[in-house]
Structure 1
Amino acid sequence: MTFTDEYKGDNAMEAHVNTKLHVIHTNDRKQMAITLAQYERHLSLQRHKIVGIDLEYDNDPEATQKPALCQLSIGKNHPVLLFQMSDSERCTVFDNFLADPRYTFAGFSINGDKTRLERVKLEVANFVDIQKEWRVPEATKPLDSLGDVSGVLIDDYYNNMKKKITDDKRQRWAILPLSRRHIKYAAKDAYAAMALVADTCVYAEGLQLTNTEWRGMLGCLMIHNRGFCAPFLHRLTTADLQESWKLPSTIKFHAPSSGKLTLETEHKNGYGDMEADYHIDSEDCINITTGWKDFVSQNGFEAGEVAMVFFYKEEDSIKFTIFTI
């Protein structure tokens, strides 16, 4: 018997403060196909085609365990799809979506998921393991769950996410109906996996990163308290390292039209902290002026390096934290 339970509007699931998720929980292959078609239309317009994915398993012994629920998310403005695999017939549309090489599927500690999928003869293309790719330099504790990592990069709300559901309830993913607590937990997992990867993909048009630069960027992102999760990435040119640096108009930062800001960096020459002037010109571009050249010289920035810039406010001051990779 097919079912579709939808949670939206006042009934939507809270991911974290100010972020509500529209969730569709279904075993109906038609409803699943409609939702995946919506995903494909949106992803076709995106440069970075990222899908958050997570699996919950049935309660069989670990040696024979299979997926009970597949959670998919492409962002907070689109429904999170919870497809009840344990209570649905095999579907080519679903299989083909997971195997589509155009998409990057982001999960956490995915070896177990891969094993369970193999047992039902399914494979996920471009499966990215957040746990393997991201590390915290000199971390005081290991980030051993998706909730831990999400608490650092997205919102404190995700800290201890795994404790929001008991071990007994975690064993009931194949038993219907799922409780609202199960639905909320599953939706947040898929959304968090997507957001961790998507929110770090803010590239200047045409910027390509080497594997070394990519891993360096992820390492910087995993340092606590470094501003927004979505930095501005730019490969520095010789012109950028002169008297001033003009950022593109795509960088929208609410600030007075001119004033002073603090430039902070951790670079090959060590920690740097300096004050500079800025103004926002008629094209809405932020121009860092007096102080910028000295900052560049002090820290040894070179043309060709990729600058990763976080923007944030501290009381009445503005701070740009710059890493180069």
Structure 2
Amino acid sequence: MKVLYTNSAASVEEWITNAEGSLDSSARKIVGLDVEYDKLSGTYFNPKKAAVIQLCVGTDVLVYHICHADERSESLDIQEIWRDPDKKKKLQGLKDVAGAIIDPIYFEMKDGFGRAEHRMWANPPPLPPKHLEYAARDAYATYEVYRRLDLFERGFFSLFKHPEKKRGRDW
């Protein structure tokens, strides 16, 4: 993976412009996205805020330390498109989805990264290497989940568009 870690809005905009350029030549426009927050939970009067935003296109990863950004970047968005139907939990994390879609090893992708580490996302730059690796891994897993979901969806719906032709022999 090639990782860019920054708190510069100009660097984010340049990374996004380059990513859009590489996506222009691609038939499928897939971007992995994840967010780390400044605290584990929020309240109405003190909501949690984005501390780090991770983007991934292919093997290019952006880790944007947004809570320490020099100015605001308006080029980011988030959406949810899939849940593991076998999980009864209301909230499913990236490890649940990546473990179900990519490989069961992803169920362990956040092991060794506890509450104390999660509280450090809003600390002043630079992020510790352990956090940078975690953020890059999250971004790549998100990209890979979306890429595979897109492939599954296109494969499934192609069955309806191109029904199997009847063969000359049935044996």
TM-score range, shorter chain: 0.7 to 0.9
Offset of residue 201 of structure 1: 2.3
Q: Secondary structure at the match of 1:135?
A: coil
What letter matches 2:132 in structure 1? I
Change (3 A) 1:233 1:185: farther
Offset of residue 183 of structure 1: 1.0
For 2:23 and 2:162, how far apart are their aligned partners in 1? 32
The one of 109, 132, 154 equivalent to 1:183 is: 132
Alpha-carbon displacement from aligned partner over 1:75-129 (angstroms, at most 9, x marks no partner) = 22xx2101111111323xx30x22xxxxxxxxxxxxxxxxxxxxxxxxx2xx431
Which has the higher Rg, Structure 1 or Structure 2? Answer: 1
For 1:60 and 1:150, how far apart are their aligned partners in 2? 21
For 2:161 and 2:39, how far apart are their aligned partners in 1? 53
Q: TM-score, normalised by structure 1?
A: 0.45
Q: Tell me if structure 1 keeps the 8 A contact 2:7–2:66.
A: yes
The one of 68, 73, 80 equivalent to 2:56 is: 73
Residue ranges of structure 2 left out of the alignment (5+ in a row): none
What letter matches 1:28 in structure 2? S
Alpha-carbon displacement from aligned partner over 1:18-61 (angstroms, at most 9, x marks no partner) = xxx22111112332222111111012223332221111112497
- The answer to whether residue 14 in structure 2 is matched with residue 34 in structure 1 is yes
- Richer in strand (by share): 1
For 1:67 and 1:73, how far apart are their aligned partners in 2? 17
- The answer to whether residue 64 in structure 2 is matched with residue 83 in structure 1 is yes
Counterpart for residue 22 of structure 1: 2
For 1:60 and 1:147, how far apart are their aligned partners in 2? 17
Offset of residue 141 of structure 1: 6.1
What letter matches 2:12 in structure 1? M
What letter matches 2:54 in structure 1? Q
Q: Percent identity?
A: 28
Q: Secondary structure at the match of 1:128?
A: coil
The structure with higher relative contact order (CA 8 Å, sep 6+) is 2
Counterpart for residue 99 of structure 2: 151
- The answer to whether residue 112 in structure 2 is matched with residue 129 in structure 1 is no
For 1:141 and 1:61, how far apart are their aligned partners in 2? 21
For 1:177 and 1:27, how far apart are their aligned partners in 2? 9
Q: Tell me if structure 2 keeps the 8 A contact 1:148–1:160.
A: no
Q: TM-score, normalised by structure 2?
A: 0.80
- Richer in helix (by share): 2
Residue ranges of structure 1 left out of the alignment (5+ in a row): 1-20, 99-123, 204-213, 218-229, 245-289, 295-325
Change (3 A) 1:80 1:38: same
Question: Once superposed, which parts of structure 1, at least 4 consecutive aligned residues long, lie more than 3 Å away?
Answer: 140-143, 230-238
